[in-house]
Amino acid sequence: MSADPGDDRHVRLLLGAYVLDALEAEETCRVARHLQGCDGCARVYVEVAEASALLALLRAEDLRE
Ligand SMILES: [Zn+2]
């Protein structure tokens, strides 16, 4: 497991920033690797990514009006 005792074993707290591409490269790698092996976090990631895409659509529509 992780060498850092205070580390979040799962990456859910990082998923929002991961979707927005706001993480350090090192953290982005860690999240990507974790998502490949963790169904639970992968499901949360899809939800966060979809919500983020919807928000982007809404913003784009607002701009058009
Ligand atoms: Zn996980």
Average pLDDT per block of 10 residues along the chain, 65 residues long: 57 93 95 96 95 87 77
| Nearest Cα residue to 45 out of 23, 26, 62 | 23
5 Cα: distance to centroid of ligand 1 (angstroms) = 16
58 Cα: distance to centroid of ligand 1 (angstroms) = 29
Q: What is the pLDDT of residue 27?
A: 95
pTM recorded for the entire structure:
0.73
45 Cα: distance to centroid of ligand 1 (angstroms) = 10
12 Cα: distance to centroid of ligand 1 (angstroms) = 7
> Are 2 and 34 spatial neighbours (Cβ–Cβ below 8 Å)?
no
65 Cα: distance to centroid of ligand 1 (angstroms) = 40
